[in-house]
Structure 1
Amino acid sequence: MSQTITITVPDGSFDAYLATPQGTNARGTAIVVIQEIFGINADMRETCDNFAREGFVAICPDLYWRQEPNVELTDKTEAEWQKALALYNAFDVDKGVADIDATIGAVRQQPGVNGGVGTVGYCLGGLLAYLTATRTGADAAVSYYGVGMDKHLGEASKISKPLLMHIADEDEFVPPEARQKIIGALQGNPQVEIHTYPGCQHAFARIQGIHYVDDAAKAANARTLKHFQAMK
C-alpha cells in the first residue's frame, strides 16, 4: 500500500512517498529511499514499492521542495537533464541531510516500525546516504554511485554503523582519481563494505534507465537487500 505523507521541519514542510508492506511479511524495519537528481519519479516509487514487498516500510522524501515541490523527471530527454542538473547545482546538501534526518524520525513513528531505519540513495542520493552514515542516527546505509563524495571524506571517521557502497568503474560523473580517493579513504573502515562494478557507467541500477545493466543491478540490489535484512 502507498500514500503521500507530509513531514514538518522548522522552515516548512514537504511531501514523502510512503510504501508499506502487506500481510505477514512486515519486518518492523524501515528504509529511507533518497532520490536522484530527477526527484520522486516512477523509479523512486517503484524502488519503495519493491522494498515494501520485501517487508520494509519505505519512504522517499521530496528533497527539492525548497526549490520546486513535486519535481518528477526522467533521464530520457535533454530538457529533463538540463532541469535536473540546474536543480542539483542549486541544491543545499546540508539542508538535504537535515530533511532526511527528519524523515528518519518521521518513519520511526509509522505504525509497525519498531526496529532499525536504514537509508539508501542513488546519484545525488548516493552522496546523501553516505552523509547519513556520518551525520544522522540511521542504523544502516547504502550508497549507489554517489557523486561528490570525495569532497566529504573528512567525515569518514564518524561512520559507526554499516555502510554498503556500490561504485561504477566507468562512472562518467566520478573521475577515476575521485573513485580511488573514495575507496582508499573508506576501505579500511570495518563498518564499510565496497563493491565495484566493471564496465558499468553511472546509474547502472536505475530502473528502465538508459545505462541500466541487468546483471550488475541485480547483484547490487541483492547485496543491498541482504544488508538491510541484517538491520535490527
Structure 2
Amino acid sequence: MPNLTIAATDGSGSFSAYVAEPKSTPAGVVVLIQEIFGVNQAMRDIAAWVADLGFIAVAPDLFWRIEPGIDITDKSEAEWKRAFELFQAFDQDKGIADLKATVAAARKMPGGNGKVATMGYCLGGRLAFMMAEQSDADANISYYGVGLDGLLGDLNKVTKPLVVHIADKDEFFPAEGRKKVVEAAKGRGNIQCYNYDADHAFARVNGIHWHGLSATIANGRSAETLVKALGA
C-alpha cells in the first residue's frame, strides 16, 4: 500500500502515514490512531478492515519525533517496556497537532470525498477523544482510551459524533474514572458511550486481550458511525 507524507505544522519536518485503499473511490477517510506499539501489524490489519468497509484508511506514525517507524507487539516483556517508554516520551499536544495535519491532508487526498473521521485505540483512544474536542473531524471513535475523565472539562466543545468504547475490566482505567465519563456523556445526543465485559485492548487484532464478541459488537457500532459520518 502507498504511504502518505505529511508536513508537520510546526515546521519540524514531516512524517509518514500508512494507507490502505478500498476497491472503489471516492470514499471517506478514516484516520487510524495508533496504540503505544506504533503502526504495527495490528494497526495494519485494522486498516485493511477499514478499507474492506469501503473507506480509505490512513494511519500516521505519531512516534516519528521520538523514533520513526516503531513497529512492536504486546507479546514480550521487552516490547511492553519499550512501549511504555515511548508513551512517557510522547508529547500528546504535538500528537494532536500531527493528527490535525493528517485530517487536513486526508480531506484533500486523491480518492477521498472530503470527509474524515478519526478512530483510535488505547493511547489512540485518548487522542480520538481529544480530537473530538479540538478538531473539525466529522466523527471520532475512541476504543478504551485511558484517563478520559481528565478530559471532561472540554466536553461542551464536542459538536460532531463521538463514540466511546469502554472496557469494564480495563486495568489501565479505573472504574471510578470510567463511570465519570459515562455520566458526563448522558443527555448529549452526539456522544455515545458503550461498555463491554472485556479487558483493555479487547479489539486489538491477535492481541493478548482480544475478545471476539466485544470486538465484533464494537466494530459494528463503529462501522455504522462511519457510514453516517462519511457516506457509504
Same fold (TM over 0.5): yes
Check if 1:206 corresponds to 2:213.
Answer: no
Q: What does residue range 27-42 of structure 1 map to in structure 2 within 5 Å?
A: 28-42=27-41
Residue type of the partner of 2:207? G
The equivalent residue for 1:4 is 3
The equivalent residue for 1:62 is 61
Check if 1:229 corresponds to 2:224.
Answer: no
CA distance in 2, matches of 1:42, 1:7: 21
Q: Does the CA contact (< 8 Å) of 1:20 and 1:56 recur in 2?
A: yes
Check if 1:98 corresponds to 2:124.
Answer: no
Residue type of the partner of 1:218? T
Q: Does the CA contact (< 8 Å) of 1:27 and 1:55 recur in 2?
A: no
CA distance in 2, matches of 1:195, 1:181: 13
Q: Offset of 1:188 from its aligned partner?
A: 2.5
Q: Offset of 1:149 from its aligned partner?
A: 1.2
TM-score normalised to structure 1 length: 0.96
Q: Does the CA contact (< 8 Å) of 2:28 and 2:116 recur in 1?
A: yes
Q: Does the CA contact (< 8 Å) of 2:201 and 2:210 recur in 1?
A: yes
CA distance in 2, matches of 1:150, 1:43: 27
Query: What is the count of residue pairs matched by the alignment?
Result: 228
CA distance in 2, matches of 1:168, 1:17: 27
Q: Does the CA contact (< 8 Å) of 1:171 and 1:202 recur in 2?
A: yes
User: Following superposition, which runs of at least 4 residues in structure 1 exceed 2 angstroms of deviation?
Assistant: none
Q: Offset of 1:88 from its aligned partner?
A: 0.4
Q: Deviations over 1:69-101 (max 9, x none)?
A: 100010000000000001101111111011000
Residue type of the partner of 1:209? G
Q: Deviations over 1:26-69 (max 9, x none)?
A: 35211000000000000111111111111101100000011111
CA distance in 1, matches of 2:152, 2:21: 34
Q: Does the CA contact (< 8 Å) of 2:118 and 2:137 recur in 1?
A: yes
Residue type of the partner of 1:158? K
CA distance in 1, matches of 2:28, 2:114: 5
User: Aligned to 1:173, what secondary structure does the other structure show?
Assistant: coil
Q: Does the CA contact (< 8 Å) of 1:16 and 1:59 recur in 2?
A: yes
The equivalent residue for 2:137 is 138
Per mean C-alpha deviation after superposition, the further-off stretch among 43-52 and 77-86 is 43-52
CA distance in 2, matches of 1:14, 1:65: 6
Q: What does residue range 1-232 of structure 1 map to in structure 2 within 5 Å?
A: 2-9=1-8, 10-23=11-24, 26=25, 28-198=27-197, 200-232=198-230
Residue type of the partner of 1:76? K
Residue type of the partner of 1:15? S
Structure 1: segments with no counterpart, 5+ residues: none
User: Aligned to 2:4, what secondary structure does the other structure show?
Assistant: strand
CA distance in 2, matches of 1:27, 1:150: 37
CA distance in 1, matches of 2:127, 2:168: 20
Q: Offset of 1:220 from its aligned partner?
A: 0.5
Residue type of the partner of 2:210? Y
Residue type of the partner of 2:16? D
User: Aligned to 2:229, what secondary structure does the other structure show?
Assistant: coil
Q: Does the CA contact (< 8 Å) of 1:118 and 1:141 recur in 2?
A: yes
CA distance in 1, matches of 2:165, 2:38: 21
CA distance in 2, matches of 1:17, 1:119: 14
